[in-house]
Amino acid sequence: MNKVVATAVRFSQLFGKTMRQAPAGADTAAHQLMLRAGMINQLAAGTYTILPFGLHAYQNVERIIREEMAAGGAQEILMPALQPIELWEQSGRKDAFGPTLFQVKDRKDRMLALGPTHEEVVTTLVGQTIQSYRDLPLILYQIQTKFRDEARPRAGLVRVREFAMKDAYSFDQNEAGLEDSYDRMYKAYANIYKRCGVPAIPVDADSGAIGGKASVEWILKSDTGEDEVIKCPSCAYAANAEKASGTVPQRVKEDEKPTEEVATPGKSTIIDVSAFLKIEYSQTLKAVFYSADKQVIFVIIRGDLDVNEIKLKNLLKATELRIANDQEVARAGLVPGYASPIGVSGVKIIADESIKMGSNFVTGANKVGFHIKNVNYPRDFKADAVTDIAKISAGHGCPKCGAKLESFRGVEVGHLFKLGTVYSQKMGAFFLDKDGARVPALMGCYGIGVGRLLAMVVEQNRDEKGIIWPKEVAPFDVHLVALNIEQEPVRQAAEKLLSELQGAGLSVLYDDRSETPGVKFNDADLLGLPIRVTVSPRTLQKSSAELKLRTESQNRLVGLGEALASIKGS
């Protein structure tokens, strides 16, 4: 059973109110339920107060995390949220994080960062502490407030600007040690999600601004999720769409034909051009223009495919990547809607490998109202790079077994990174190995957003009436309901049962309000505690209490003398 700050709370004194309807703007089930249950209160976009009922569950999630971190050999510390900007300049991530990084000045005009993560701080700390290989392996973790200036906070605690994260960092002598630390954290994460009642699955992922050589996200399937996951139904392959690889549909190569300019009046999209010329999308080459750190990039890809912007951003090593506007495209000497890679100069051209999967393609003619047929690479145009920048989608081939891939939406609830020496070299985390050589520690990092995980517990455990808490996360073990509490026998029986439950170490939410049975039962279903025990004039006629599990529709009467044992056995 749970251990929370308060062993018993009277509903009449509980800070926070339940609501029949969620406020406007709550766009996901979890956000709506957390507001209706009085778990959270919004102060501003992306910033929330966690109220007592929510905090009990929040602390249970923290407890589970701490227990599994300890089981994995990690030691807890607490690092500053306020960090010298020089650390971020030293690591090279000040620009990589861009506007997401909150920056402030102190009274002496020194720049500081509000930490969105703590790789720089922990690596500096360990570099100042370890001396030799005897000090390793080492896993440190914290649960600390993070700050990220999210452009679009959404979904309650899922995407916020201030949040608590459990971030762990491993330091090892060699690759074998890193693999062992990574494996221990992987197992800890699997246990955390199982205990929290969320069926998260691990998928290959892009490392993003954290960096490193490999990473795995834990994703929870959700129709409101921001992540797209590509998964093979026939084997174990699964990856975030940003990272996914696979095989795209092939086209039969024909003998190359001479180029031919054709009029395509008013046809500026792949859909319109294909319909007009009676060809498939895959017989066209699509031009997409990006601004990469203010430089216009001409991307060319087969018309049936989309650009994977993460792959492109990584290829270009760009800090900021966005779609270029028409003015930027025009200044580069290109014609939006009719652009062609033929004869282009002064603009970097990045081509997807799909331009070699087929022949006699249609492209723009770089003048309004015209396209060119029978374009072939490399006969008709050159590219600065030809590489895999295509987005893998459902229906494409699995890279492992060739089966058709599927996709689903999901929410990231954890991330594991194999960092290698990318931070230890820059931030000075060196040690003397067995031969006396000074070498950098191999690092891993492992993050879980506590509030986001709590939100997804609610998302995954609910019905049309409200939340259905997993036992280990539930804010209280028991919801004790007293009906007609104004009647002295009811009050006395409820108070006696409350005392017994507390004495047995159970946490209790005691509904001592003078409300109707309908209001109390609706609130009980909304709040979703594992066990509801009701004392009323009707049950007392049989010297009983009514026992109901939130996961079941039926209730049963148990004798008052047997109530405690029945509750503990449920």
Q: Read off the pLDDT of residues 111-137 as tens digits, 9 standing for 90 and up.
A: 999 999 999 999 999 999 999 999 999
pLDDT digits (tens, 9 = 90+) for 187-223: 999 999 999 999 999 998 876 655 556 789 999 999 8
Nearest Cα to 474, choosing from 59, 42, 49?
A: 59
- pTM comes to 0.87
CA 543 vs. chain centroid, Å, equals 50
402: confidence class by pLDDT, cuts 50, 70, 90 = very high
The per-residue pLDDT of the chain, averaged, comes to 93
AA letter at 54? G
The C-alpha atoms of residue 181 and residue 443 are separated, in whole angstroms, by 9
Domain parsing of the chain, residue ranges: 8-244+408-459, 260-387, 478-568
- Give 253's DSSP letter: -
The C-alpha atoms of residue 188 and residue 178 are separated, in whole angstroms, by 15
Q: Please state the CATH superfamily assignment of the domain spanning residues 478-568 in this structure.
A: Anticodon-binding domain (3.40.50.800)
DSSP string, 348-398: EEEEEGGGGSSSSEEEE-SSTTEEEEEE-TTTS---SEEE--BPP-TTSBP
Tokens 């999901």 sit at which residue?
A: 410
CA 399 vs. chain centroid, Å, equals 24
Q: Is residue 171 a contact partner of residue 136, using CB atoms and an 8 Å limit?
A: yes
Task: Say if residue 16 is exposed, middle or buried (CB neighbours under 10 Å; 0-12, 13-18, 19+).
Answer: middle
AA letter at 548? K
- As a whole number, mean pLDDT of residues 305-334 equals 90
CA-to-CA separations, 569 to 257, 291, 494, 524, in angstroms, rounded:
79, 63, 20, 20
Q: Is 155 left (phi over 0), alpha (psi -120 to 50) or beta?
A: left
Beta strands in 259-319, from DSSP E residues, in sequence order: 260-263, 285-292, 295-302
The C-alpha atoms of residue 129 and residue 132 are separated, in whole angstroms, by 10
Tokens 């001592």 sit at which residue?
A: 512
The reported pLDDT for the residue numbered 25 is 84
- Give 159's DSSP letter: B
The reported pLDDT for the residue numbered 5 is 43
- As a whole number, mean pLDDT of residues 59-76 equals 98
431 φ, ψ (degrees, to nearest 5): -145, 165
**Exposed e or buried b per residue across 163-202, where buried means at least 16 C-beta atoms within 10 angstroms of its C-beta:** bbbbbbbbbbbeeebbeebbebbbebbbbbbebbbbebbb
pLDDT digits (tens, 9 = 90+) for 9-44: 999 999 999 999 888 888 899 999 999 999 999 999
Calculate ∠ Cα 123-124-128, nearest 5°: 115
The reported pLDDT for the residue numbered 95 is 86
The C-alpha atoms of residue 49 and residue 15 are separated, in whole angstroms, by 12
The C-alpha atoms of residue 325 and residue 245 are separated, in whole angstroms, by 29
Cis peptide before 80, with omega less than 30 degrees from 0? Answer: no
Lowest average pLDDT, out of 89-93, 186-190, 241-245, 382-386, goes to 241-245
Q: Please state the CATH superfamily assignment of the domain spanning residues 260-387 in this structure.
A: YbaK/aminoacyl-tRNA synthetase-associated domain (3.90.960.10)
What's the CATH number for 8-244+408-459?
3.30.930.10
pLDDT digits (tens, 9 = 90+) for 241-272: 888 889 998 888 899 999 999 999 999 899 99
Nearest Cα to 241, choosing from 270, 266, 213, 204?
A: 204
The reported pLDDT for the residue numbered 212 is 57
pLDDT of 1 above 70: no
pLDDT digits (tens, 9 = 90+) for 439-476: 999 999 999 999 999 999 999 999 999 999 999 999 99
pLDDT of 317 above 90: no
Tell me how crowded residue 430 is: count the other CB atoms within 10 A of its CB: 18
The C-alpha atoms of residue 541 and residue 561 are separated, in whole angstroms, by 14
Task: Say if residue 348 is exposed, middle or buried (CB neighbours under 10 Å; 0-12, 13-18, 19+).
Answer: middle
pLDDT of 159 above 90: yes
Residues 6+ apart with CB under 8 A from 488: none
20 φ, ψ (degrees, to nearest 5): -75, -35
- As a whole number, mean pLDDT of residues 409-433 equals 95
Longest CA pairwise span in the chain (Å): 97
- Give 430's DSSP letter: E
Cis peptide before 233, with omega less than 30 degrees from 0? Answer: no
Q: Is 142 helix (H, G, I), strand (E, B) or coil?
A: strand
Q: Is 278 left (phi over 0), alpha (psi -120 to 50) or beta?
A: left
Q: Is 42 helix (H, G, I), strand (E, B) or coil?
A: strand
Strands 138-147 and 75-76: parallel
Q: Is 293 helix (H, G, I), strand (E, B) or coil?
A: coil
Nearest Cα to 144, choosing from 129, 165, 114?
A: 165
